[in-house]
Structure 1
Amino acid sequence: MDHLSELKALIVRHCAGGRTVSANPRLVLLNAPRTTRPGPALYQPTFFLAVQGRKRLVVGDRVIEYDSAKSLMVSIDLPVTAAICEASPEKPYLAVGLSLDRAAIAAMLLEMPGQDDGRLASIAVAPVTAEILDPMLRLTRLLDRPEDIPVLAPLAEREILYRLL
């Protein structure tokens, strides 16, 4: 089973519908069977990976879309207009989000070579790569073994932050 297929199965298994805060309180699962109208939202620092369907955000005059090929990272509290623009009962919008710890971001920026200006985009999309899918899958798999979350989740989260930066 490939990474996206396994992530889809994990999201469906652990989120019957809507938005679910999982056994890992920093991991949010979304399962939406229909498109939504654009509406206001306040996005907090989070990394989003849509594994099926598509979402559109408007930030000021900028339109941002992400899907299974493009991930989204929000590094500050940011007001947006958001809409799920591709979803159906047969193929719901499925996504996983990881709340980002600002202190961990700052600490990692100090550790990383070549990150001397300390600037980070407030919102960005990036291609989904195996390097980011692998730790997100490992992190999401921990939902099947919640007793492992306290020890193993911080390791996967650190790797995700490193890949994002």
Structure 2
Amino acid sequence: MKNLYKMAFAALAIGAIGCSSDDGGASQPGNCDSNIPFFHTGKFFKYNVAQFGINAGTMKLSFGECSGDGFASTMESRNTSNVVTSTIPNTFWQDGAFIVGDANNDGIDFHKIYKKDAALNDSWTETDADGAVITHTVVDMDSLITVPAGSFHCKVYHYEKSDIINDSYIFWDDGVG
């Protein structure tokens, strides 16, 4: 269960978002230039995570200082008792319209997690070094959600990965993340 919990967090963080018609091939890390409003030092995303409909805790992805190769970032997972269960270093950078990430700072698998100005049905696939195929698709352009921070009109991205049981929907507001 613990490994499933970690995989769910990782999937949310690294495979959540994006759209394009190309097949993988995200670039090597670059600088920290970004024209995406929410992709800057000091910004963060906090997700409530559920497994099979049951609250499993939270995941917080924080963008840190520029390391020269992108934003040094951390992904912190907490259980339902608010106890930190893992902290994973990451690096993220912008490549064209995409936010790209190296989820474990290992240089093995880079993933496009968000696309600026995405359109309905934009889709792309990426293949991990182990052969697992990740598919990202924009499935809704204006889904109203309400969270403690307020109500937002979001684009909805569907994420699935071939080697794990994971069918996720991520909601992005182009102005705030």
TM-score, normalised to structure 1, is: 0.28
User: In proportion to residue count, which structure has more strand?
Assistant: 2
User: In proportion to residue count, which structure has more helix?
Assistant: 1
TM-score, normalised to structure 2, is: 0.27
